[in-house]
Amino acid sequence: MNAALLDPVRVRLHSDLEEMLDDEVKAADPADEFVPVAFEQEFADLAVPLADGASMTFRGKIDRIDTTSGSRRVRVIDYKTGKHFWKAEEQFKGGTELQLAIYNQAARVAYPDHEVAEAVYYYSTAAGDYKRKVCAATPEVEETLRSVLVTLDGLAAAGVFPPVADNCRFCDFQTLCGPFRENRALRKSADPRLASFKRLREIL
């Protein structure tokens, strides 16, 4: 490829990397004792219990895992290269953001003799301003994850796949959905079968 095209990309990557390393140093808290112990760690057949013995199974790959040796704690770091798009009070974004809560579950299974502290998105480029989004591994987060999955499972089992057209700009399926999708979503919004889905969308 033309060097004139590649050079700006190289410069940006170098700059992001240097700033990320600076940020990691600044953010390192000597008191927390966390040390990276694994990268690109895969998990499979992670069963998250729903209700009545049912479960939903996940697989994935975790960018980085840190542990402490003394207090035996574990945390997950997931690197992001896009923009940080979180409000402080948000965690699940209407049931669309489950990854961090699921990572906490994966860490629990992978490190059964450790206490899971948190899973973190680290926006590790200038685009994301080197910000972090933390999902603490609390019983409340675990319960909310379970209730979101129960709702999604119930909707799928009932054959209800609600149209949502409030964030189409970055979606890969705009051609498939075609024009007037907002109108179609609006028309269906009063359908009583969408009650549980609407409650889901209110979860921050």
Residue ranges that bind ligand SF4, judged by CB under 6 A: 163-165, 167-168, 171, 173-174, 177, 181
The amino acid at 171: C
CB of 170 to ligand SF4, least distance (A): 8
Give the neighbor-by-neighbor strand order of the sheet with 35-49: 35-49, 55-67, 73-80, 115-123, 132-136
The residue among 138 and 174 lying less far from ligand SF4, judged by its C-beta, is 174
Whether residue 119 contacts residue 103, with contact meaning beta carbons closer than 8 Å, is answered with: yes
CB of 165 to ligand SF4, least distance (A): 4
CB of 194 to ligand SF4, least distance (A): 14
The residue among 2 and 161 lying less far from ligand SF4, judged by its C-beta, is 161
The residue among 76 and 200 lying less far from ligand SF4, judged by its C-beta, is 200
CB of 201 to ligand SF4, least distance (A): 13
Phi-psi region of 193 (alpha: psi -120 to 50; beta: other; left: phi over 0): alpha
CB of 149 to ligand SF4, least distance (A): 20
The residue among 28 and 168 lying less far from ligand SF4, judged by its C-beta, is 168
The string of DSSP letters for 165-187 reads -SS-TT-TTHHHH-TTHHHHHHH
The residue among 112 and 173 lying less far from ligand SF4, judged by its C-beta, is 173
Alpha helices (runs of H) in the chain, residue ranges in sequence order:
3-27, 99-110, 139-157, 174-177, 181-188, 195-201
Tell me how far apart the alpha carbons of residues 25 and 13 are, in angstroms, rounded to a whole number: 18
